[in-house]
Chain A
Amino acid sequence: MSIIINGSPAALPADPRTSLLDLLRDTLSLPGTKKGCNQGACGACTVLVDGDRILSCLALAVQYDGRHVTTIEGLAEDGALHPLQQAFVVHDGFQCGYCTPGQICSAIGMAAEAKRGIPSHVSEDLSADVVLTRAELQERMSGNLCRCGAHNGIIDAISEYNTEVAA
């Protein structure tokens, strides 16, 4: 049984109680993914599994046998920041930075959902193509809290990334 983390296989834990979050942080020494609430309420632990954003604190690692997990550590290529990471720097998308890895992984998963045509709670027409307005971004990112209140910079960064890079 193994799980692929940022392209490299890792052994699944012997104890099925281990969450994907604890596997990443404690066993694999990948502390970029953060533990905020450990109960699904803050989004700090967001990672991508086969491209979908999920909460690693509520995920039992054994359930993800054979799946591909991407964490914040897996985004930069050849030492160059991922364009969304760069946009967070440019737009002051953080203060303390604790929520940032989760925000960035979440926003990458969100862009893929929008491309697949998944509507949101604020979409007026459920059948129309998704247009990522500011209201759409705020709703779609509501699973990621920021205790420092850097939300405006966060939305600016994601908005730039979606119009210039992900489009």
Chain B
Amino acid sequence: MNPFRYARADDAADAVALVTAGGTAAFLGGGTNLVDLMRETVARPDSLVDVSGLSDEITETDTGGLLIGAAVRNTALAGHLAVRTRYPLLSRAILGGASAQIRNMATVGGNILQRTRCTYFYDTAGSRCNKRDPGAGCDAIDGFNRIHAILDASPECVATNPSDMCVALAALDATVHIRSLGGARTIAFTDLHRTPGETPEYDTVLEPGDLIVAVELPALPFSAQSTYRKVRDRASYAFALVSVAAALDVQDGRVRDVRLALGGVAHRPWRAWKAEAALRGAPATAQSYRDAADAELADARPLSDNGFKIELARRTIVAVLTELAGPDGEAA
């Protein structure tokens, strides 16, 4: 690990001032991703600004939603009663990720900005990676790419976003509250993460010095009717091959409204806008769910080792929607 200076921020303004004071400073949450990346010299900040003690509150908003401080630990968010009862897909997504020890350390801000688990990104000893070393090339494209992207990848990068929590936040129309030297602003969660394009070194649209201070969940009348399903190589403590976060509102045998997002398939948490559009107003039947999944996955492109993800995503979407529709839907 390269040497660095360490400072604890007193508040958001202090954190932003410290991180923009020059050099290559980075914010530090629980450290579960950044410390690992620094040890592997993938990340080499010359100073760390500790923001893990800033805002760890979860409060009700005037409009019936929740405002979640960026330093809320993953365990605290998953275990919060309002989240468990009103947004179960978010609790389930978090509880499906990492291990209890890591969830106790990890912050909401750090989880949102965790970096890909592409093994070539981690392998500083000999692999080429455009995300780690822009312009170097990508060894995953013709390498072992079983865990890589099937949607929206570019010739420069086929990495996936590894977060479970982010899939639920994408489905929920969350908003990210940012603080920077220029002031405060908000970004729709689905606009935060980028497609890789020609600049895969940027995971998100954030600028240097942008601090995540909170995430806001809007009220969603049917969000209690929601879940998260994760498919992985072992039953626990493994990243998703494919995952689905969904909330479903079925009335009189028809889909009145739906929120759907996928994990493990793209460089960003994937909001399934096309599937949602196909589902609204459609009969709540397995055939509708299959048609919606097909609409979403029509543009999916397999790499040499990950073609299975297309069918896996399709089946997982259908299974989750069937489960959520319950007796109001018609199983087929």
Binds A, one of B98-106, B188-196, B207-215, B318-326: B98-106
CB distance from B88 to the nearest CB of A (A): 5
Q: How many residues on the A side are at the interface (Cβ–Cβ under 8 A)?
A: 38
A19 at the A/B interface (Cβ < 8 Å)? yes
Q: A127-B84, A139-B236 are in contact. Are A58 and B32 (CB under 8 A)?
A: yes
Does A118 have its Cβ within 8 Å of any Cβ on chain B?
A: yes
**In the complex, how many angstroms separate the beta carbon of B241 from the nearest chain A beta carbon?**
16
In-complex Cβ contact of A143 among B5, B31, B84, B237 (8 A): B237
Indicate with 1 or 0, residue by residue over B25-57, a CB within 8 angstroms of chain A CB atoms. 000101110011001000000001010100000
The answer to whether B79 and A117 touch across the interface, beta carbons within 8 angstroms, is yes
Closest Cβ–Cβ distance, residue B40 to chain A (whole Å): 8
Q: Which of A39, A116, A139 contacts B36 (CB 8 A)?
A: A39
Give the shortest distance, in Å, between A107 (CB) and chain B (any CB). 11
B91 touches A110 (CB 8 A): no
Q: A60 within 8 Å of B by Cβ?
A: yes
Partner of B84, one of A46, A65, A126: A126
Residues of A within 8 A of B101 (CB): 43, 46, 53-55, 106, 109, 143
- A126 vs B81: C-alpha distance in the bound complex, in angstroms? 9
Q: For the complex, is A52 an interface residue (Cβ under 8 Å from B)?
A: yes
Q: Using Cβ atoms and an 8 Å threshold, which residues of chain B touch A83?
A: none
- In chain B, positions 46-90 with a C-beta closer than 8 Å to chain A are 48, 50, 52, 75, 78-79, 81, 84-85, 88
A16 lies within 8 A of B100 (CB)? no
The minimal Cβ–Cβ distance linking A57 to chain B, given in whole angstroms, is 8
- Chain B residue nearest in CB terms to A56: B101
Minimum distance in angstroms from A43 CB to a CB of chain B = 6
Q: Do the beta carbons of A142 and B237 come within 8 Å of each other?
A: yes
Are A119 and B78 closer than 8 Å at their CB atoms?
A: yes
Q: In the complex, A39 Cα to B98 Cα: how many Å?
A: 12
**4 nearest A-B pairs in the assembled complex, by CB-CB distance:** A143-B99, A142-B236, A16-B6, A118-B79
Chain B residues proximal to chain A, CB less than 8 Å: 1, 3-6, 8, 28, 30-32, 35-36, 39, 48, 50, 52, 75, 78-79, 81, 84-85, 88, 91-92, 95-96, 98-102, 104-105, 235-237
Q: Which residues of A contact B (CB under 8 A)?
A: 15-17, 19, 38-40, 43, 46, 52-55, 58-60, 62-63, 65, 106, 109-110, 113, 116-121, 123, 126-127, 138-140, 142-144
If A113-B100, A143-B237 are given as contacts, then 13 extra A-B residue pairs at C-beta distance below 8 Å, sorted by A number, are A16-B48, A40-B102, A58-B31, A58-B105, A59-B35, A60-B28, A63-B52, A109-B101, A113-B79, A117-B79, A126-B88, A138-B236, A142-B237
